[in-house]
Amino acid sequence: MKFNLGLLGMILVVLASMGLTTTSLAKQKSAPLANDQVAVITVDVKFMGRLQDDMKRINKLELRREKYFRKHRGETRRHGVPRLAKSRYAKAEFAGERLIPVLEEYSFETLVRRAVVRDIHEMNLDVVPARVAVTLQQMRIADYSIAHYRSHSTVMTGTVEVFDAAGKRSGAVKLTWEMVPLFTTDQGYSGREYVFLRESAYVRVAPLTLGFLEKALEQIYSGKDAPGPVFIWPPKGGYS
């Protein structure tokens, strides 16, 4: 993820003191994926230990939250339901709908698969891997609804491996990545990054997962730029 840094001096000072970052984002459109590009890459996803044990529970929670978000453009009712949210963010292409347009297909595994394919497409690699293996071992999300995964930090640990058409491993990285949110003030953002509302940062699986995959792929393919999560900063005066 590359940015043109600048803007919002006062907000930047405040966010810096909170360990957060505000940035302006270039209006670079995300190219659509052709069917043959999607089919070219095999993505294997494996969850380890407690993550695998809790997968049905996690998927049920995430599907319910995603359904609520698509209807109200907000997270659960404890964050409030902005009256103008649907119109305010009408032009924004949120990450969940970009990657998984059909709500009934929404799951943690599908999120990983779709993101890896799109990330590699967006990175414009000279040689596209035939297979990518993602193993997720642990995650912690600061305000997650399942108590076991709550923590003071939002962090994911896992491994990403890439293989060529002959089955030879051509790259791998084991990574523990802690999320530091990057913000945009563009309420209609539809560029190449994966956009979320600010309130989603510490209550959803998707922002952390997409950030983890971004950093892992960028380490494997040094010098290449993968899309990652960005968060819409609330409008002046807060939500209505």
C-beta neighbour count of 179 within 10 angstroms: 22
Per-residue model confidence (pLDDT) at position 30: 55
Tens-digit pLDDT profile for residues 73-99: 988 655 455 566 778 898 999 999 999
Per-residue model confidence (pLDDT) at position 234: 78
* CB neighbour burial string for 54-70, b if at least 16 within 10 angstroms, e if fewer: beeebbebbbebbeebe
Tens-digit pLDDT profile for residues 166-176: 999 999 999 99
* Residues with Cβ within 8 Å of residue 130, at least 6 apart in sequence: 40, 41, 42, 163, 164, 165, 167
Per-residue model confidence (pLDDT) at position 87: 81
CA distances for 191 relative to 1, 65, 136, angstroms: 11, 24, 27
The candidate with the shortest Cα–Cα distance to 97, out of 85, 110, 87, 88, is 110
HSE-up (13 A, CA, CB side) for residue 218: 15
Per-residue model confidence (pLDDT) at position 107: 98
* Mean pLDDT of the chain, nearest integer: 85
Structure tokens at 27: 């209006």
HSE-up (13 A, CA, CB side) for residue 27: 4
Q: What is the dihedral of CA 213, 215, 221, 222, to 10 degrees?
A: 180
- Determine contact, residues 218/125, Cβ cutoff 8 Å: no
DSSP single-letter state for residue 105: G
Chunked in runs of 10, what are the mean pLDDT values of the chain (240 residues)?
42 39 49 50 98 98 96 72 74 96 98 98 97 98 97 97 97 97 94 95 97 98 98 69
